[in-house]
Structure 1
Amino acid sequence: MKKNAETGLNARAKRKGCGVLARTLAAAGLSLAIGAAFADPVTVPNGDFSDPGNTGTVGGGLLGGSGVNALIGNGPWRGTYWGIADLLAPPSLAINHNTQTATIGGIAGVNLLGLVNNGGYFTQTLAQNWELGRFYVLSADVDAGELLNLDLLGDSGVGIAFRSGNDVLASSTSALGHLLDLDLVGSDMYRVRLGYFADLNATGPINIKMGYEPQGVASVDLLSDVTFRNVGLEVRDIGDPAAFEILTHGDLLQAEVGQPFSGNLIVLVRDDDGDGVPGYTVTFTAPTTGASAVLTSPTGGTGTTVTAVTDIDGLAMVSAQANSEAGCYRVTVEGVGIPEVATFYLRNYSNAPGVNSIFCNGYQ
């Protein structure tokens, strides 16, 4: 049973994840109503870094210096930082209310029986306590000064994290890919979202973290600085998976023989309230003979039968490439606990002279 009992926009704010989903569909040539999916916002004091009282800088200074939970200005954000004795000064951690940014700069590396780096992170303990079984989504805009992907971001040591006390519960540098989302929102600015189902390790107040903590990274590969903006947190009550919604239709489901389909096969897994269900395994199955397609999943291999795990917003998707035979066929979607089988209707066609290209599934 879900915890949300109130109704209306004052009780629940519309889920921010819908914006990312809308962009995903737009990129695939789709424009669809996503449905009613909601989340409770959790207040992150000075999450936009606009409070003059929280402006200040910690870190820097002497070689080998360090600090733990150093208050920045009057708080609420704190900074932890470290250098390397006699070799590296710690980085500087600065919050600027004028630019509404939190920046970590001065990261370096040195060879000391192997590459070692200095590092640092911002952290804040919130007033709210963890609640077992709820799904939390932490988000922040991250500007590393260059284009990155999730692997590069993680390898560089840049990330956001959930903590209980000093214990890391989930981190963008090590999270499962389906519970991590990276969306380009500016020239070098990314919106990073991290999802976490609160388990028995999550006790006491919620603690959030934003850091730049490289390990064994050569100086030439280090980022000059990393800037964070617009930190947000929301919590969702996710029910059991109850239904599929097919989100790819029309021309995106036809391709010339031997060629890839122009759109991914996207399905939304919903609970009884219409909310997307993250972390759920879906099986996509195409025919093994005749006209068919080779499916490729970002989380479950390649073939005529593959699995995919739903992301933060409950989306599962695979790409498809038509085989060498013209014809129309179905790709089905199934999952444990959902009684229905969802179906994509695909068409392979041929433009070769003398080949009777088949028309079906509504294509004229």
Structure 2
Amino acid sequence: MKRSTAKAELLDQGLTIDHEQFEQLCKMVIERSERTRDLELTPFRGDGGIDVHAVIDRDLFHARLGVQAKQYAPGNTVGARTIRGFKGALSDQNYHIGTVITTSSFTSGAVDSAERDYIRLIDGDHLAGIMVSSEIGVVENEGSYDLDPGFWNAFEKPVRDDVIPSLEVPQADNFDIVRTVLRAVDAGADVKPAITEYVRTNEADTFDPRQSDYYAIAAWLLEFLHKDEQVTIDGHDLRRWGLTRTGEEYLAYLDRGDQDAADDLLYRQLRDVEIISRVYNELEAGGTIVRSDISDVIAAETELSASTTDRRARTVGEWLGLLPEIRTSGRGPSQEYVLVP
């Protein structure tokens, strides 16, 4: 397709993802088009108008960058009031420079306000132009452009459908390692070899590379990680991972020693994982289930083989048993899970 068509397609794609994913998209665009460090989604929903944080280091200056993302439909323009509010957020949180990115456009009042306060505005056309020029979300071949499915597949989320994909039945049962994987990604170790090395150094020296996939997917199911586009390393296509806003929030609680808040957030995310939700429904109906019942739910709700369902039932049981309202006893297929009033 032509460049103009590619830009239009990119904006359409930017409107099909949800708002938090659009913030992730803005983060990915910044990462690929600017030299930054400490690039991250701000960890809390009460973020004061700052959606993405970064530090820009150059030979002659050092600056904290705050970014606000506005996923607006065409015709829903960003006005001067938004820019004034953003200026206040930058000042309150000690940011030196700011950028507002939108899929739509800005009113003339917003442009005037931004120019007075040295705030950079990126409208939908400019955003799409950056993405095309940097081949973000598109690939160029002899002057023609195509959407990059590998890039946009990164915005897949766990499905809510009749049949749960096998990928969404967890295989990672050690939550200390889940937390270590989150810290690995936060430290920039965001692909399988780097995650493996980080976990071996900081948590478990026998950690197998295959487990990196299991644990990253587990964190994705909990919506602590999001998929980033694939990269090629030593001839292998590898998935990159990034922290979601919820993942940033979880680590922030842990870093400041607020274990109760971290646990409450983890429990909320656990209950929202589809396979956990369906097993939980069975538990609520009877008050008690055993691990073989979990196997039955997995067999009925997924396309996993019988031998695989038994192995996954153990992990699902471990996840279920983390919830404070559930008491466990026994071992093996007869291990019991009781919902405590």
TM-score by length of 2: 0.26
Of Structure 1 and Structure 2, the greater helix share is in 2
User: Higher strand fraction: Structure 1 or Structure 2?
Assistant: 1
Higher relative contact order (Cα pairs below 8 Å, separated by 6+ residues): 1
State which structure, 1 or 2, has the greater radius of gyration over its C-alpha atoms. 1
